Amino acid sequence: MRVQNRSSPAVDPGLLRALADAVDTGRLDPAAARRLIRADAASLPPLLEAASTVREQRSGWTVTYSRKVFLPLTNLCRDQCAYCTFVRRPSDPRAHTMTPDEVLAVAEAGRAAGCKEALFSLGDKPELRYPSYRRWLAERGYARTIEYLHDLCALVLERTGLLPHANPGVMDEEDIALLRPVTASMGLMLESTSERLLERGGAHRGCPDKVPAVRLATIAAAGRLRVPFTTGILIGIGETLDERVDALYAIRDLHDRYGHIQEVIVQNFRRKPDIRMRDWPEPTVLDMLRTIAVARLILGPTTAVQAPPNLMPEAYDAYLLAGLDDWGGVSPVTRDHINPERAWPHLRELKDRTERMGFRLRERLAVYPAYVSRGQDYLDPAIFARVATLVDPGGLVPQEREQW
Ligand code: SF4
């Protein structure tokens, strides 16, 4: 494919060659990526065009989303990220760990509203920090949160048929093996590969689970166990643009090795009044467009690129110009507990805005079509049996069963 420079003769021909190579080979040269993440008015149009072409190779004009419920199993956590508004200490009256009845009630409401995914999102290993929470678990027969999570995933799957997607933080191979039979997919945001963020004043100061090597080890362990996996980067938390690119290459390297990364999220930091980073500058729409496009070209056509629509409500449809092909989980029932002030768009609005940009919105499951088609190689037999009842031959929810 030839990528044309329609906008300005000032674009470096070497950069245009790198874009054309990325389109042809699914590989973007790292030096070019570092320049393109800073794309100016001249180089932005060819960058967006190349990213859109790779997206088209992957998914044509189809953009997907997952109809889900959000289950914040516990908002206790042993970490203390400077941007987090989800976490609570046990002394806070808003601290809460959901009981099985509460989980089932939400999952059942989701099932009734046509949801297929139960997203379990929770703080990382709070039992290592809080004795009162350790006692809470012990009274119910558990030593670790991951065991409690396992049983609730099994309960939701059995009682409602919703497919669990588990996001419990850093896991080792044993943890992942425990959850695999009761989940359709798992996830852990890499967020960043910058060690600097762990230093004094950094976003990850005081967060043992945010050490990049530890998170990369979790993603690798999921690859060894053949788990369809979601990861991503959180942008605007103090990383440099080069570090942002490094994180995307680290994800691509793991996918090259194991082939299990089904989607990569590009999430933008948002300021909130009650966080340590309340005065931190937020990424702009332009930042998002550059990062999504560079992510698309680094990851190539085998991995979905996703960005949450609710974190840039005024402009999220512009992401479609940059190679995005998935909106992530959107819930008609529960709010975004990680960003509670940011309501998800109504599904009808998401569909309309996607279609106005010339795309078709389709519902997917918590596991992407590429992994559905690989069947029991990537899914436990019981999960695969359930998945098979929910999809069309292309691995998506049949159109006649979609609800808007
Ligand atoms: S690990 Fe997650 S839940 Fe815990 S403080 Fe950080 S962002 Fe919040």
Decide if 353 is inside a domain: yes
Q: How many CB atoms lie within 10 A of CB 4?
A: 12
Q: Kindly state the DSSP code that residue 97 receives in the 8-state scheme.
A: B
* 269-280 tens-digit pLDDT: 999 999 999 999
Please report the atom of ligand 1 found closest to the CA of residue 123: 3
Least confident of 185-189, 325-329, 358-362, 400-404: 400-404
Distance from the CA of 344 to the center of ligand 1, in angstroms?
20
Give the mean model confidence (pLDDT) for residues 222-235.
Answer: 98
Q: What tokens were used for 213?
A: 């090597």
Decide if 112 is inside a domain: no
Residue 204 has pLDDT above 70, yes or no: yes
Instruction: Kindly give, in sequence order, each residue whose CB lies less than 8 Å from that of residue 366, ignoring residues fewer than 6 positions away.
Output: 66, 68, 116, 117, 119, 163, 164, 165, 184, 185, 329
* 284-301 tens-digit pLDDT: 999 999 999 999 999 999
Q: What is the pLDDT of residue 375?
A: 85
* 1-33 tens-digit pLDDT: 555 555 455 899 999 999 999 999 999 999 999
Please report the atom of ligand 1 found closest to the CA of residue 209: 1
Please report the atom of ligand 1 found closest to the CA of residue 75: 3
Least confident of 134-143, 283-292, 330-339: 330-339
pLDDT band at residue 336 using 50, 70 and 90 as cut-offs = low
Q: What is the pLDDT of residue 261?
A: 98
Q: What is the pLDDT of residue 220?
A: 98
User: Residue 184's domain is classified under what CATH number?
Assistant: 3.20.20.70
Residue 346 has pLDDT above 90, yes or no: no
Residue with CA closest to ligand 1 atom 3: 123
Q: What is the pLDDT of residue 342?
A: 65
Decide if 393 is inside a domain: yes
Residue 201, domain extent: 56-65+176-397
Residue with CA closest to ligand 1 atom 6: 81
* 91-136 tens-digit pLDDT: 999 999 999 999 999 999 999 999 999 999 999 999 999 999 999 9
Decide if 296 is inside a domain: yes
Distance from the CA of 87 to the center of ligand 1, in angstroms?
6
Please report the atom of ligand 1 found closest to the CA of residue 85: 8
pLDDT band at residue 374 using 50, 70 and 90 as cut-offs = very high
Give the mean model confidence (pLDDT) for residues 310-325.
Answer: 95
Lining residues, ligand 1, CB within 6 Å: 77, 79-81, 84, 86-87, 123-124, 207, 209
Q: What is the 3-state secondary structure (H, E, C) of 352-364?
A: HHHHHCCCEEEEE
Q: Kindly state the DSSP code that residue 66 receives in the 8-state scheme.
A: E
Decide if 51 is inside a domain: no
- Largest separation between any pair of C-alpha atoms in the chain: 70
pLDDT band at residue 376 using 50, 70 and 90 as cut-offs = confident
Distance from the CA of 62 to the center of ligand 1, in angstroms?
33
Distances (CA, A) of 68 to 13, 41, 108, 248, 285: 45, 38, 11, 26, 26
Q: What is the pLDDT of residue 332?
A: 86
Give the mean model confidence (pLDDT) for residues 219-247.
Answer: 98
Distance from the CA of 205 to the center of ligand 1, in angstroms?
12
Distance from the CA of 262 to the center of ligand 1, in angstroms?
23
Distance from the CA of 381 to the center of ligand 1, in angstroms?
32
Mean of the per-residue pLDDT values of the chain: 95
Residue with CA closest to ligand 1 atom 7: 84
Decide if 132 is inside a domain: no
* 45-78 tens-digit pLDDT: 999 999 999 999 999 999 999 999 999 999 999 9
Ligand 1 pocket test, pick from 71, 86, 120, 192 with the greatest ligand atom count within 8 Å of Cβ, gives: 86
Distance from the CA of 169 to the center of ligand 1, in angstroms?
8
Q: What is the pLDDT of residue 72?
A: 97
Q: What is the pLDDT of residue 341?
A: 66
Give the mean model confidence (pLDDT) for residues 343-355.
Answer: 87
Distance from the CA of 387 to the center of ligand 1, in angstroms?
30
Decide if 27 is inside a domain: no
Give the mean model confidence (pLDDT) for residues 34-39.
Answer: 98
Q: How many domains does the chain have?
A: 1
Residue 343 has pLDDT above 70, yes or no: no
Ligand 1 pocket test, pick from 70, 75, 84 with the greatest ligand atom count within 8 Å of Cβ, gives: 84
Decide if 13 is inside a domain: no
